[in-house]
Amino acid sequence: MRAALMYGAGDVRVETIPDPTIQQPTDAIVRIVRTCVCGSDLHPYHDLPVSEQGTQMGHEFLGLVEDTGSEVTTVKKGDLVVASFSFQDNTCEFCRAGFQTACVHVGFFSAAQAELIRVPLADGTLVILPVDTDSELLPSLLTLADVYGTGYHAAKMAKVTAGDTVAVIGDGAVGLLAVLSAKQLGAENIILMGRHQARTDLGREFGATHVVSERGDEGIAIVRDLTYGGAPKVLEAVGHRPAYDQAVGIVRSGGVISRVGVPQYEEAPVGFGSLFGRNITLNGGPAPVRAYIDELLPGILDGSVNPGRVFDRTIGLDSTSDGYRAMDDREALKVLIAL
């Protein structure tokens, strides 16, 4: 099959490699119909050490079931399915508690920019999509694999509810879908902090009522002013340390900072002068996307939301390298790969 491999920072090649095969009776093989490049793929694109053998990339996909192991019962050959970016049994105690990314058998996909993929724990991971492969909904359905569920997780962990005032930090795909999610959950005031007008314009369409392009102390002052002393719920969808500091700066006393941007830092202020003194709650983490697919699928199918609008460029698999470059140069918000 053809597959994208990264050989080091900035070096993505599409090559022919052996097809994946069933290895466990709980596996499935999926022939990929749509995949994409994730903002988090840009981290290795910046700093992956050079290697001889290369490493497969990608964790978001939907496609047709090609083969199933003997113990797989919920999907069969020919089903159009979407997978969460993690695979999990979806039956253990952690999965039942709604934290599938903490499943005792959890793993994370990293080979979805390819024609075929092996899906471990297929019954706990794949969800059948009730559409055909020519559906116009495929881009939106693909967002269920990660970015929509991740934005939704930010809003859920912050317990966004009707009438809320919410600030979202970051105008990437996850930030914009955090806006959409906050809107779906009933937020009344949604402040989007971001600097790229094409993106913040989409954010307004998704439900942002205010856009703040200023950063640092200036941005903090504006949000604190807009919210009469701080936003009760802050959704942090960037992952860099300045975004954390911005979140601490704009959050209201007694409020919550819900993070879904993968932290590119390990230590940060949590003491009296930052979180503790003002009773701030810090939460979030890798989204248990599997838990949200059932909840978010109906809105896509009935057309009430269109999260697939975060894709602003479509390429073929052989152009994957161009897709990375376009996202890294911020020419594209999110690149869809159609096979």
Q: 281-284 and 251-259 as β-strands: parallel, antiparallel, unpaired?
A: parallel
Site residues (CB under 8 A) for a copy of itself, limited to 284-303: 284-286, 288
Report the candidate in 196, 195, 149 with the shortest Cα–Cα distance to residue 291. Answer: 149
Choose, by CB under 8 A, the member of 56, 91, 209, 281 that binds a copy of itself. 281
Q: If binding is defined by CB under 8 A, does position 251 make contact with a copy of itself?
A: no
Which CB, 15 or 108, lies closer to a copy of itself? Answer: 108
- List the interface residues with a copy of itself, window 75-94 (CB under 8 A): 93-94
**Which residues, listed in sequence order, are joined to residue 28 by a DSSP beta bridge?**
68, 119
Least distance to a copy of itself, CB of residue 244, Å: 8
Q: How far is the CB of 274 from a copy of itself (least distance, A)?
A: 7
Among 108, 130, 276, 316, binds a copy of itself (CB under 8 A): 276
The piece of 65-73, 125-133, 270-278, 303-311 that touches a copy of itself (CB under 8 A) is 270-278
> Which residue in the set 52, 132, 266, 302 belongs to the binding site for a copy of itself (CB under 8 A)?
266
Between 101 and 125, CB nearer to a copy of itself: 101
Interface with a copy of itself, residue 48, by CB under 8 A: no
Buried b (16+ CB within 10 A) or exposed e, 89-116: bbebebbeeebbbbbebbeebebbbbbb
Residue in 105, 11, 100 with CA at minimum distance from that of residue 55: 11
R_g (Cα) of the chain, nearest Å: 20
**Residues between 105 and 124 that touch a copy of itself (CB under 8 A):** none
C-beta of 129 vs 247, nearer to a copy of itself = 247
As a whole number of angstroms, the distance between CA 105 and CA 10 comes to 32
- Structure-block tokens of residue 290: 């599997």
Q: What is the DSSP string of 220-264?
A: HHHHHHHTTS-EEEEEE-S-SHHHHHHHHHHEEEEEEEEE-SPPS
Q: State the amino acid at position 25 in one-letter form.
A: P
Judged by CB under 8 A, which of 272, 302, 304, 329 binds a copy of itself? 272
Give CA–CA dist 212/180, Å, rounded.
17
Q: How far is the CB of 118 from a copy of itself (least distance, A)?
A: 24
With binding defined as CB under 8 A, does residue 242 bind a copy of itself?
A: no
Q: Is 15 exposed, middle or buried (0-12, 13-18, 19+ CB in 10 A)?
A: exposed
Q: Cβ 273 to a copy of itself, closest distance in Å?
A: 6
Residues engaged in binding a copy of itself (CB under 8 A): 93-94, 97-99, 101-102, 157, 228-229, 244, 253-254, 259, 262-263, 265-286, 288
